[in-house]
Amino acid sequence: MNPRITLATAGRILSQLRHDHRTVALMLLVPCVLLGLLAWIFADSPTPVFDSIGASLLGVFPFVIMFIVTSVSTLRERTGGTLERLMTTPLGKGDLMVGYALAFGLVAIVQSIVATAFAIYVCGLDISGPVWILTAIALLDALLGTALGLLASGFARTEFQAVQFMPAFVLPQFLLCGLLVARDQMPSVLSTISDWLPLSYAVDAMKEVTVNASPEVTKDFLVMVAWIIVSLVLGSLTLRRRTA
Amino acid sequence: MNKAAGRHAVGGPTSTDEAIVVEHLRVQRGKRLVLPDLSVRCPTGQLIGLLGPSGGGKSTFMRSLVGVQVVAGGTITILGEPAGSAGLRRRVGYLTQAPSLYEDLTVRENVAYFARVLGSTEADVTRSIADVDLTDHAEALIVNLSGGQKTRANLACTLVGNPEVLILDEPTVGLDPVLRRDLWNLFRRLSQEGRTVLVSSHVMDEATRCDRLLLIRSGQILSDSTLPELLARTGTEDAESAFLALIDGSAA
């Protein structure tokens, strides 16, 4: 790996986004629209439902959106021939992986700040813990989505497959993350599986920030960081300089 | 096309007489044995044409040279190092047949990105865009360019690294005659600077532009000589007839 090439790659990916205003607008607006819709659904509810699930969803959106964006854009590198071209240059696999993580991590920071601000100031979300921790969780979440997206794209040969990986990788985690049914109330097999999935920890951390003024999220952070690193390493193994 | 102002010449202690040495190269793609047993040597600093029909193994051969093709057997040595080794990635430039560019970036952004990856300067970016005559379109998005302009932008991304060996897969296909002539003049200039330029084409009349010709068909080198030598050997008037004569000869 080479810092110059890594940064050049991150810069190139951001330039691509800069030319694509509609994608940037969608990445920033869709989470806000969904949060607004959710707050509205529960507007007349006697119990503060939005306060309990709004924050958790702040952890789900960046994960899902970054997963899709990353898996599609890396697949474009493969099918468009730019990956093969890069493989003939001094660029290392890690440069590409970390370049993507840096670029989309930066986008994720902006996205999570916008979505968090919208949830708090427009939708009236009540958060007991510090907002910066909530933003940090959203960032880790987005990086997780990016890392898993990079990994998933390694197994996709066509755009159709890449899009199908979204429900395949993401929806099971969504069902098991504790948003629909608390994790300790699931059948024991499912609760054990959910103990191994990264999105569970993202949602746990978000819940902790919502209810606790001094939240304890160290373990959740460590699990997410471990998943990010493992996914990036596994993802770089799916990149081959030589292909048949 | 601009003069190659500011481009540094190549050569020095690492130069060898033969830039590319291929021995018993064997490549299998799927069930098909694309290159059964290919051996060839390319002298340094020459403009070499790799000619033959589509599906004859040209692209597979070129992919093997730049180290992105899984090879079943044989050895490839480029500038004294095994093909695909890390030390060669800055010294060997590869042009893919289909433009491999970021469609949502401008010409300049594409070239500048590959320049940073290859460790080239801003001056190299401007120079290589000028070399392919795209200065007026430098700020245009790739997606808005014509096919020929994309081909040239693709080439600029290869030239920006100042490679000592250029592996160019069908760079002139589908271009108009004026542009083809300009590009062949550019390839000539690159070889005169001491670079080894291997250009593939399925258009036989491009043979006259080359120092040396490799005729390839069904993964076999039919001929490795200069054009006059080839014409004398086959008793023909042009490369196309010579190629046909060789096929008829090998079939007989």
User: Tens digits of per-residue pLDDT, B16-35?
Assistant: 689 999 999 999 998 899 99
What are the pLDDT tens digits along chain B (252 aa)? 444 444 554 544 444 689 999 999 999 998 899 999 999 999 999 999 999 888 889 999 999 999 999 999 999 999 999 999 999 999 999 999 889 999 999 999 999 999 999 999 999 999 999 999 999 999 999 999 998 899 999 999 999 999 999 999 999 887 888 889 999 999 999 999 999 999 999 888 888 899 999 999 999 999 999 999 999 999 999 888 998 898 887 654
Nearest CA in chain B to A242: B68
Residue A98 to residues A190, B53, B61, B121, B225, Cα–Cα distance (Å): 33, 41, 32, 23, 47
Tokens of B76: 């490839």
Tokens of B50: 């790799």
> Across the interface, do B68 and A91 touch by the CB < 8 Å criterion?
no
Q: How much is the ipTM here?
A: 0.87
Residues composing chain A: 244
Helix axes A159-176, A131-153, angle to 10 degrees: 140
The answer to whether B128 and B160 are in contact (CB under 8 A) is yes
- Cβ neighbours of B156 (radius 10 Å): 27
Calculate how close chain A gets to B84, using CA atoms only, in Å.
Answer: 7
pLDDT of residue B8: 52
B interface test, pick of A88, A98, A100 with most B CB neighbours within 10 Å: A88
Spatial CB neighbours of A108, under 8 Å, sequence gap ≥ 6 = A62, A66, A138, A139, A141, A142, A143, A145, A146
The answer to whether A238 and A155 are in contact (CB under 8 A) is yes
H helical segments located in A118-215: 131-153, 159-176, 188-196, 198-211
Domain boundaries, chain A: 3-238
Q: Exposure string (b/e) for B211-249, b if CB count within 10 Å is 16 or more? A: bbbbbbbbbebbbbeebeebbeebebeebeebbebbeee
pLDDT of residue B17: 87
Calculate how close chain A gets to B181, using CA atoms only, in Å.
Answer: 26
| Domains of chain B, first to last | 20-91+165-251 (3.40.50.300), 98-162 (no CATH)
B interface with A, Cβ–Cβ < 8 A, is 28-30, 66-71, 84, 86, 89-90, 92, 94, 96, 98-105, 109, 113-114, 116-119, 141, 157, 161
The answer to whether B79 and B14 are in contact (CB under 8 A) is yes
Calculate how close chain B gets to A25, using CA atoms only, in Å.
Answer: 16
